[in-house]
A and B are shown apart, each in its own frame.
Chain A
């Protein structure tokens, strides 16, 4: 774990000197995690791709501000959450739930026992959570981060993380148990 951190620190230093190959390795390591987190918050693959691009451009520009010895993952997650929440705020007035439904190809690639309709129902319920709770939930359930890691990413106390998670799960439980969910959205 510590070796991993040191290696990532070296990658950051090399990238900070303009080494695009080193930055490429960082991108390759975190691309999927950034995309997954962004998708959980913005709700669509296309928009998640745009957010992820923005995240890595911002990271490239801000490599100077990365604290040596810090967690590269937490740093990138923080940029991702902020960029994704900004993206949802920017497009909120034009949001159309029909537009953010996944394309047909996505509906048949679920890895779990959930069928496509159920998965979409869950995602839709997640999209209706307040951004702060949504971010905490996505970091916990998609990325399996600990409370302490989520607190570091979101820059809030651990108690706040727990209350946001509790609120998010309770809201989801209510929404998913409601038979009228589809009519609400």
Chain B
């Protein structure tokens, strides 16, 4: 724009009603006598008005309630993820699952040791424990409390040996196996049941609250 005409910035500020009062009077006085600047102002105002008229109205978009329903669903998911207590809900089933897994592993160790003992591959563990305990319980270097404990182990091993001496080895193995596997199955069943209860208590994706927006 030439210096004897209004600058682009002035024309724009005039169209947008952003020109300070002090400059506005001078600009309007210039416009009264300058057809070129009047045309520039009218042209810019026309563009601004044309764009403003294409602004979408409410009817272009989904209803307010529908918008809120979708949003509140997303917000509830965000809130659950952010809450430190959300992790707490996972702890009981995870602990039970870990306990179930531990029992399952122990049951296999016990089963394998029992079968190896029955097959004569390794000596009976009860006997081994009793022998070890007998070795140390009389030693003067063994602390008194440990000696009392070893006495109890020896007594217990003796009781087990005398009470089960008449059982066929295979039957004993089967009973132990069944007992351990039964415990394992029970713990797994409890874990699964708790998982199911936990899943049922999880908040589902339904709109909640926000009555003002609906």
CA distance A37 to B9 in the complex (A): 24
User: Which of A23-31, A66-74, A81-89, A92-100 is the interface stretch?
Assistant: A23-31
Known: A39-B56, A122-B54, A142-B52. Contact between A31 and B64, CB under 8 A?
A: yes
Interface residues on B, range: 35 or more
Give the nearest-CB partner of B17 in chain A: A146
Instruction: Please tell me if A77 contacts chain B, counting CB pairs below 8 Å.
Output: no
Known: A48-B61, A169-B47. Contact between A25 and B212, CB under 8 A?
A: yes
Contact bitstring B1-44, A, C-beta under 8 A = 1, else 0: 00000001100110010100000000000000000000000011
State how many angstroms separate the Cβ of B138 from the closest Cβ of chain A.
68
**26 residue pairs bridging A and B, Cβ less than 8 Å apart:** A18-B79, A21-B211, A23-B210, A24-B68, A24-B209, A24-B212, A24-B214, A25-B213, A28-B64, A28-B212, A32-B58, A35-B60, A40-B56, A45-B60, A48-B56, A48-B61, A49-B61, A49-B67, A53-B67, A123-B54, A137-B51, A147-B16, A169-B44, A169-B47, A172-B50, A173-B43
With contacts A57-B75, A61-B82, A114-B50 known, what are 13 further pairs, Cβ within 8 A? A21-B211, A21-B212, A24-B212, A31-B67, A31-B213, A36-B55, A60-B78, A106-B60, A111-B57, A112-B54, A113-B53, A126-B51, A126-B54
